[in-house]
Structure 1
């Protein structure tokens, strides 16, 4: 389990007792430096690094970094809000020792996610990881709920030898084909070995649909650890691929046409160690609470897209009839619905049943995405929101009148449209708090302005190697 307590200046006593042993163990493994990682509002993984010998100081007093990164765009330009985006101030980055791991994919380095607090020792209101920790802690305290979550990771392998800004797929075989697996068997075998050494349990890794595309599914954890794992998985894939002469892109749309890279969220609610998505009297074994949780997420999907699909390139991926989930619809194992009910196999449903949220890509900050989805679901549970009729097949087949009667609507088709939905959603804004909510709005509008006037191919190229 992830530590849910806030860091404190001087260090938490338990961490201070552990840190000397951890430092010695890392040194014995030949680890010379530690990557301190967090994800900014634009979804870019930002880092500072320290020598291993400085871990004790970082645990006690943190490492400095400017708060300006909360309003960085993917191209490293800066937008502002009333409180963020200036050159003033400093924050302290505190590594989470529970998630620190030696990087088998980057020998000589370890990795740890960080929480950011102010120099006065208070929560930084722009820290996405702190936001998710708070959402999870409040759900446990107020509702008696815990969660299990996982983030799917899709990416495209390209040749490092290709022109620097271009993309040449590293494999030539068909989608899901054995040819692709054979062509990259050395790289993917090394990935599996690295994940095993890092304690990441892999459910499956396989070729996917788009050119050069692969996917990995990993085991579920508490939401904060699941978001951490998503960042770690991508760091590992990128490092291992580089040693094999490959580049990787986790961008929502590597090319303007075709299927993009998703980052689907899987989430289940638990109370007293019982999965609320199985064994109930509702549809497909859901309890009444689970149905209302799903209904809460469904109701807020248009606004959620500003968080789960946060890049102009996201809207090149969010197209009908491409399994991206672009309509407000739910269904059991329905891959065109935005919300897919996964019941699991008979005999495993009490463990495996969960909700999959599909209109999510890997430009999304995973802490913000999971936190906002949970907040939407909790609002549905609190209101005992009814779950509407299930949809089967492709919702794109409905005419306007039939879709309206079923409550099926198209999700936003552009980032500015998603921002307008987000601005009017008081539940999500209240969950994030004004500082973080305003940062989301400013960064999204900044990204939209940055690509104004570009065609689809130029938008895809602008973000191809940012993620």
Structure 2
């Protein structure tokens, strides 16, 4: 474990461009927060809630938590809960590195529950959940807060008259709980996508559906996936920050329901080396004045100029975006060709091998259903960093009026060498691309940009000599 000192961060960025819009993340007045918390407390008390878990996701993609009894919610909303700044440089195995700006044992932040998102947890009677946001002790936005970063990027889109709808697919592998030496024991031997698998675990999956529904999430589909014991659930799209919140809540709910069924769950990108892993695909659509900009334009497959520029910005930035969308070194065991993981930097209509898949939807619903899918992301990502960074690079592409390169059809693994670029095949390659990204540096701001870089470098070094088996074992139950 290494430690450093907490240095003063740079001056706050201006309220324009990708780094600004700080007014969107200012704390509401304390009296207003108290009144809202009192109303929330009464609702939660009626629902039988006794305590509230307030979570944030660190730069290694691990969800951390501070909890307060229900009677302490008003105080937490008014004054926050203490959290150390060094959580920004925690690694997935709980060791701590340091960065140029953030690190060391000194200093304190205040974690505030997002009162508009508090929900009783259906699979944990007596508990409620709320995402948290971190501010300084003087009430200023903490420049390392990932959820505030996503909110700033959402505000940057709104300043251009744009809104986004987003959703993050959640894939997981479920195994029977037991001692580590017992190995992985799957509760079903059903085939990929097979009804056999759903039948074997219908009670379990039914409880997952009920819990998600009781928590206000609309499930679009749930089904068996490719690998042994693997399933996927998709929920209705929300705004970018809401989609990231939903991703955290879905995973927490799946884990809680699994525990009640005597099962253990892994969202890690690779559970068994060589097998198809768990993705965390990000779907998004761009809107202006109630119109889906993915349809009705003169660009490829009906894209408008704005939507094409946005997607071109995302596609061009995918190498550096992997640092935020596939956070763990284990993610590169998943990101291999011909497994629908999106290992190549190309785009295509309904092409599941392309890193950026364009989806128009069925005839008759395309005006609402058209969206794009970023396939190279996984669940080790901090979802707030992932959606915020995609927004930042997309808006940069839109501002520059970029155009998409030619579309690729078929499996790029079969293309002539050099025809289609591979995405980074190692953490070092992705880190090198990230270090060159002026867009991400500006959007994230120096403290957050540097903290992410420190964590990625430390984990890359930590697992540099690990075999695939060792890497999968080290990360299997961390996510």
Structure 1 length as normaliser, TM-score?
0.96
The alpha-carbon deviation at position 242 of structure 1 amounts to 0.4
How far the C-alpha of 1:335 sits from its partner, in A, is 0.2
Matches of 1:235 and 1:278 in 2, distance apart? 35
Per the alignment, residue 452 of structure 1 pairs with: 464
State the alpha-carbon separation in 1 of the partners of residues 250 and 181 from structure 2: 24
Equivalent in the alignment of 1:68: 86
Unaligned runs of 5+ in 1: none
User: 2:38 aligned with 1:20, yes or no?
Assistant: yes
Residue in structure 1 matched with residue 258 of structure 2 by the alignment: 241
Deviation at 1:433, TM superposition (A): 0.8
Superimposed CA distance per residue, residues 157-198 of structure 1 (whole angstroms, 9 cap, x where no aligned partner): 011035368422222100000111011111110111111110
SS of 1:385's partner is coil
Q: 8 Å contact 2:101–2:450 — kept in the other structure?
A: no
Matches within 5 A, 1:37-56: 37-56=55-74
1:328 partner SS: strand
2:106 maps to 1:83? no
Which residue of 2 is the match for residue 373 of structure 1?
390
Judging changes above 3 Å, is the alpha-carbon distance between structure 1 residues 308 and 165 closer, same or farther for their aligned structure 2 residues?
farther
**Deviations 1:32-54, CA, capped at 9 Å, x for gaps:** 10000110000000000000111
2:363 matched to 1:332? no
Task: Tell me, yes or no, if the aligned pair for 1:329 and 1:337 is still in contact at 8 Å.
Answer: yes
Which of 283, 293, 302 is 1:285 aligned to? 302
Instruction: Kindly report structure 1 stretches of 4+ aligned residues shifted beyond 3 Å.
Output: none
| Counterpart for residue 54 of structure 2 | 36
Alpha-carbon distance change, 338 to 165 in structure 1, aligned in 2, over 3 angstroms: farther
2:293 counterpart residue number: 276
Does the 8 Å contact 1:165/1:461 carry over to 2?
Answer: no
> What is the aligned-residue RMSD (CA, Å)?
1.3
> Structure 1 residues 5 and 431 mapped into 2: Cα distance closer, same or farther (>3 Å)?
closer
**Aligned partners of 1:159 and 1:169 also within 8 Å:** yes
Structure 2 regions of 5+ residues with no counterpart? 1-22
Give distance in 1, aligned partners of 2:180 and 2:62: 23
Task: Give a deviation string over 1:328-381, Cα, whole Å, max 9, x none.
Answer: 100010000000001011111111111100000000000001111111111111
CA distance in 2, matches of 1:268, 1:306: 22
- 1:218 aligns with 235
TM superposition score normalised by structure 2: 0.93
CA contact (8 A) 1:7 1:115 kept: no
Query: Which residue of structure 2 lines up, in the alignment, with residue 439 of structure 1?
Result: 451
Q: How is 1:184-199 mapped onto 2 (pairs within 5 angstroms)?
A: 184-199=201-216
1:250 and 2:267 matched? yes
Shift of 1:278: 1.4
Aligned residue in 1 for 2:225 = 208
The aligned residue for residue 317 of structure 1 is 334
Q: Deviations over 1:430-456 (max 9, x none)?
A: 111111111111101111121132100
Name 1:104's counterpart in structure 2: 122
User: Alpha-carbon deviations, 1:280-327, whole Å to 9, x = none?
Assistant: 222212111111111111111111111111111000000000000011
Instruction: Answer whether contact 1:157 1:171 (CA < 8 A) is retained.
Output: no
- 2:140 maps to what in 1? 122
- Judged with a 3 Å threshold, the aligned counterparts in structure 2 of structure 1 residues 305 and 385 are, in CA distance, closer, same or farther, namely same
Q: How does 1:125-204 map to 2 (within 5 A)?
A: 125-141=143-159, 143-163=160-180, 166-204=183-221
How much has 1:276 moved relative to structure 2? 0.5
In the alignment, the residues of structure 2 paired with residue 388 and residue 123 of structure 1 have an alpha-carbon distance, to the nearest angstrom, of 39
CA distance in 1, matches of 2:30, 2:185: 48
Q: Is the 8 A contact 1:79 1:443 kept in 2?
A: yes
